[in-house]
């Protein structure tokens, strides 16, 4: 597996693959089986799979976990090599933000509710970094997880409205045996917090099956040991509005750890 740790190596690699199809897998590292499922799917749908690892500063607000975000590069590289990635791109901040670390692209209207209300900087940071990553690596397809469902739809909307000739592929959420969506931030949970965290998925499934109301879901989440709910609500997966709901979206806090999850609703 090639390590592309500067722009020259990236350009050489892109040139060397000629017209082979390229799947890009954006990640912030601290890789788990969810990330690796994106690599596996990328290798099924394209000839070359290029994951990148970059903890993007513009999608963190002051006071969020940019400094403490888990960084496990050696393990990450082993995992990517075992998954069959032909190369991994490790850009520097100078590569990505040559004119300084700032927002250069704004996300569209889909970014306003839910995550956008609670992390107003977040999607502008995501679309800023992805514009740069897309223009440098010129992928045919980009693999993204349904775990971050609103992000997936915001990026789909971005490539559609800006006519960027890239296909965004959504990949199902990988969960542990208790149903907890795998997340790099799960590393922040201690044993007792983990036991509480596994309730979130079970509760949103009940909500998705119309067995409980939104109000009951909120009460159950708080009863399970979550400290705060940012949102837990039924929305339409194309508009993120309450009309014609088909997806349950949730974000809640255990101590200082913020967890998100989402599931499709039963008809
Ligand atoms: P991150 O490193 O958290 O920025 O995530 C990188 C990519 O992996 C994003 O497209 C995420 O949606 C995806 N991802 C994260 N967790 C999971 C999971 N449990 N299952 C599938 N994809 C995931």
255: pLDDT strictly greater than 90 = yes
pLDDT tens digits, one per residue of 143-195: 999 999 999 999 999 999 999 999 999 999 999 999 999 999 999 999 999 99
Nearest CA among 52, 206, 60 for reference residue 130: 52
Looking at residue 88, its pLDDT comes to: 99
User: What pLDDT is recorded for position 239?
Assistant: 98
Q: Give, using CA atoms, the residue closest to atom 17 of ligand 1.
A: 34
Show the beta-strand stretches assigned E in 122-241: 141-145, 167-171, 228-235
Q: Which atom of ligand 1 lies closest to the CA of 145?
A: 12
Residues classed as catalytic: 35
Q: pLDDT above 70 covers what percent of the chain?
A: 100
pTM of the predicted protein model: 0.98
Tell how far the Cα of 259 is from the centroid of ligand 1, in angstroms: 13
- The protein residue whose alpha carbon is closest to atom 5 in ligand 1 is 27
From residue 187, give the alpha-carbon distance in Å to each of 65, 71, 75: 13, 11, 14
Pocket test for ligand 1, best of 30, 42, 148 (most atoms within 8 A of CB): 148
Asked if 52 and 27 touch (Cβ cutoff 8 Å), the reply is yes
Q: Is residue 28 within 6 Å of ligand 1 at its C-beta?
A: yes
**Sequence-separated (6 or more) residues with CB below 8 Å from residue 191:** none
Which residue reads 């020259």 in tokens?
8
Strand partners, 51: 25
Give me the pLDDT at residue 256, please.
Answer: 96
Q: Is the CB of 186 under 6 A from ligand 1?
A: no
Mean pLDDT, to the nearest integer, of 133-137?
98
Place of tokens 């509005």: 241
What's the confidence (pLDDT) of residue 208? 98
pLDDT at 267 over 90: no
Do 189 and 257 form a contact (C-beta atoms < 8 A)?
A: yes
Q: Hey, what are 42's tokens?
A: 């990328």
Structure-token pair, residue 200: 């979130």
**Residues β-bridged to residue 264:** 247
Q: Which residues contact 87 (CB under 8 A, 6 or more apart)?
A: 1, 2, 3, 4, 13, 48, 50
Beta bridge partner(s), residue 251: 231, 260
Question: 97 C-alpha to center of ligand 1: Å?
Answer: 23
Question: Which tens digit of pLDDT belongs to each residue from 27-79?
Answer: 999 999 999 999 999 999 999 999 999 999 999 999 999 999 999 999 999 99
Residue 173 Cα: closest atom of ligand 1: 20
**Three-state secondary structure call for residue 24:** strand
Q: Cβ-count burial of 244 within 10 angstroms (0-12 exposed, 13-18 middle, 19+ buried)?
A: exposed
């Amino acid at each position: 597996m090639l390590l592309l740790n500067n722009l020259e190596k990236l350009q050489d690699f892109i040139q060397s693959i000629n017209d082979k199809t390229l799947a890009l897998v954006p990640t912030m590292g601290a890789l788990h089986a969810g990330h690796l499922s994106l690599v596996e799917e990328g290798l099924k749908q394209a000839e070359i799979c290029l994951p990148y690892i970059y903890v993007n500063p513009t999608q963190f607000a002051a006071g969020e976990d940019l400094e403490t975000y888990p960084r496990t590069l050696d393990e990450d590289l082993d995992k990517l090599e075992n998954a069959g990635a032909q190369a991994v791109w490790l850009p520097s901040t100078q590569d990505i933000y040559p004119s300084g670390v700032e927002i250069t692209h704004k996300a569209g209207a889909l970014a306003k509710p839910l995550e956008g209300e609670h992390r107003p900087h977040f999607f502008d940071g995501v679309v800023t970094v992805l514009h740069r990553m897309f223009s440098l690596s010129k992928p045919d397809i980009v693999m993204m997880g349904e775990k971050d469902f609103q992000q997936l739809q915001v990026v789909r909307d971005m490539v559609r409205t800006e006519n960027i000739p890239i296909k965004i592929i959504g990949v199902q959420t990988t969960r542990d045996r208790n149903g907890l969506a795998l997340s790099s931030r799960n590393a922040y949970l201690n044993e007792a917090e983990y036991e509480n965290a596994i309730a979130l998925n079970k509760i949103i499934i009940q909500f998705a099956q119309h067995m409980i109301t939104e109000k009951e879901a909120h009460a159950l989440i708080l009863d399970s040991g979550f400290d705060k709910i940012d949102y837990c609500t039924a929305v339409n997966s194309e508009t993120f509005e309450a009309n014609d709901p088909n997806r349950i979206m949730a974000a809640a806090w255990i101590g200082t750890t913020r967890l998100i999850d989402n599931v499709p609703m039963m008809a």
